[in-house]
Amino acid sequence: MTNHRGSMTDETQSKDANVDAMPGAESLRLAVVGDIHLYRTRIAPWRMLNKRLLGQVNLWFERRHKFDPALLPAVCEQINRVNPDRLLLTGDVTTTSLPEEFADTVEALKLIDESIPITAIAGNHDRYTYTSARRKLFEQALHPHVPDTFPHFEKLNDTWHLLALDAAMPRKLTARGLIGDEQIKTAHALLQTLSKDQGVVVMCHYPAFEREGDRYRWNHLLKDMPQLQALLSDCPARVLHVHGHEHHAWFYPVPTEGFSHVIDINAGAPVMKTKEHPFGQGFCELQLPADAPNAVTYLHHYRDHNGEWTTQASHK
C-alpha cells in the first residue's frame, strides 16, 4: 500500500493498542512523543519584551485553538499501557519557554510510569528566548532525562543504538535550528563504529528531509540539513531518524538514492486537534527487530472520532 506521499509500506489499522509486529523476534519497543507545546495564555506584559511577544500573539489568535493540554493525560495513560522500553521526547514541550510551562511539563511527566526511562531533547520553542537558553531552563526542568553532552550516543541493546543531536537555539525572528560542525563531526565518527547488521535511532528536533510534495518554510528549517543528510547517508547501519517540529505524524522510507537504509519518522503533535484527529495526533511506537535488516513496525496511536484509541501500523 502507498503510505505518506509515495513511500511503499505495508499498512494496517487496529483498535488493539498492542498490535503485534510482523513475524520475527521483537527486541525493543520505543514510544516517541512530538511537540506538546504546553502554554500559559496570561503572562505579565514585561515578560514579553522580546521574541515572546510574537509567540504569545500566535498563541492567543491561533495555537490555543488547536492545542488542547487537557488531552495530554490520556496520551500518558496510553503510553503506560504500551509500556515501552523507553520514551523519546523530540522537543517543543513548551511554547515560549516560560518557567511555568516547564513546570507544567514536569507535572505531566509524573503521569508516566516511573519504570519507563525517558530521553528528551530540546526544540526551538524550549529555547525560545536568549534568556531561557542562557539559564538552561529546559535542562534544569527535565533533568535527568536530558543528556549531559551532545551528541549523545548509547547502546540500547546488542543490535540498536541511540544517537541524540541538539539543534535547538534561540533566534531573534526565525525558527531555524543548527546542529553545528562539531556535533556532526563527532556523530559521524560514532556512527562509523556500527555495522550493516546493526541499527541506530537518531533523535533530532528538526526533519532531515522534505517529503515528496512538501515544501517547508526556509525560516523554519534546520540550517545544516544537508550535513545531517550526509551524516545519515554515510552511516553503515540501518537508520531511523525521529523528530518533531512539523506538526504531522508520518513514517517515510526515504526514496532518494543513497538513503535506502533510512526511514524518517515524525511523531506528530500529541494534543493538536485537526479534522482528522479531533482528540490530538497521539504518539508513535516503534517495534525494533532483533535483526536490524528485518522489518521495523511503526504504530501510530491516536483516538478516533469516538474518542477510542486506535492504531495505524506500517512495516518497512
Tell the residue number behind the cell numbers 531533547, with chain if given. 121
Write down the pLDDT at residue 25. Answer: 41
pLDDT at residue number 129: 92
Q: Are 216 and 245 in contact (CB under 8 A)?
A: no
Are the C-beta atoms of residues 39 and 63 closer than 8 Å to each other?
yes
Task: Give the model's pLDDT for residue 11.
Answer: 58
Angstrom distance (rounded) from CA 259 to CA 262 = 5
Please state whether beta strands 26-33 and 86-89 pair in parallel, antiparallel, or not at all (unpaired). Answer: parallel
CB 292 within 8 A of CB 286: no
CA distances from 56 to 191, 228, 266, 270 (A): 40, 31, 25, 20
Domain 15-315: CATH architecture, name and number where available: 4-Layer Sandwich (3.60)
Distance in Å from the first CA to the final CA of the chain? 11
Do β-strands 238-243 and 199-203 pair in parallel, antiparallel, or remain unpaired? parallel
H/E stretch holding 274: none
- Tell me the pLDDT tens digit for each residue of 38-60: 988 777 776 777 788 787 777 77
pLDDT tens digits for range 8-21 = 355 556 554 444 44
pLDDT score of 18: 46
C-alpha cell belonging to residue 192: 562509523
Range name among 5-14, 53-62, 235-244, 297-306 with the lowest pLDDT average: 5-14
Q: Using CA atoms, how far apart are residues 250 and 238, in angstroms rounded to an integer?
A: 18
Cell 493538536 belongs to residue: 272
Banded model confidence at residue 214, pLDDT cuts 50, 70, 90: confident
- C-alpha 296/C-alpha 316 separation (Å) is 5
pLDDT of 167 above 70: yes
Residue 185 has pLDDT above 90, yes or no: yes
Give CA angle at 265 (284, 21), nearest 5°.
Answer: 55
Q: Which of 97, 154, 151, 156 is nearest to 127 (CA)?
A: 97
User: Taking 90 as the threshold, does the pLDDT of residue 212 lie above it?
Assistant: no
Q: Which of 6-20, 23-37, 215-229 has the lowest mean pLDDT?
A: 6-20
pTM of the model: 0.90
Half-sphere exposure of 111 (CA within 13 A, CB side): 14
For residue 13, what pLDDT is reported?
Answer: 62
What is d(CA 126, CA 146) in angstroms, rounded to the nearest whole number?
12
Cβ 208 vs Cβ 224: under 8 Å: no
CA distances (Å), 118 to each of 9, 46, 187, 191, in order? Answer: 29, 35, 21, 22
Return the DSSP state at 94.
B
Cell numbers that stand for 71 in this block: 488531552
Q: Each residue of 31-52: b (16+ CB within 10 Å) or e? A: bbbbbbbbbbeebeeebbebbb
* Beta bridge partner(s), residue 312: 13, 300
Helix runs in 160-242, H state only: 181-191, 225-234
Residue 238: exposure state from Cβ atoms within 10 A (0-12, 13-18, ≥19)? buried
Task: Answer whether residue 22 shows pLDDT above 70.
Answer: no
State yes or no: pLDDT of 86 exceeds 70. yes
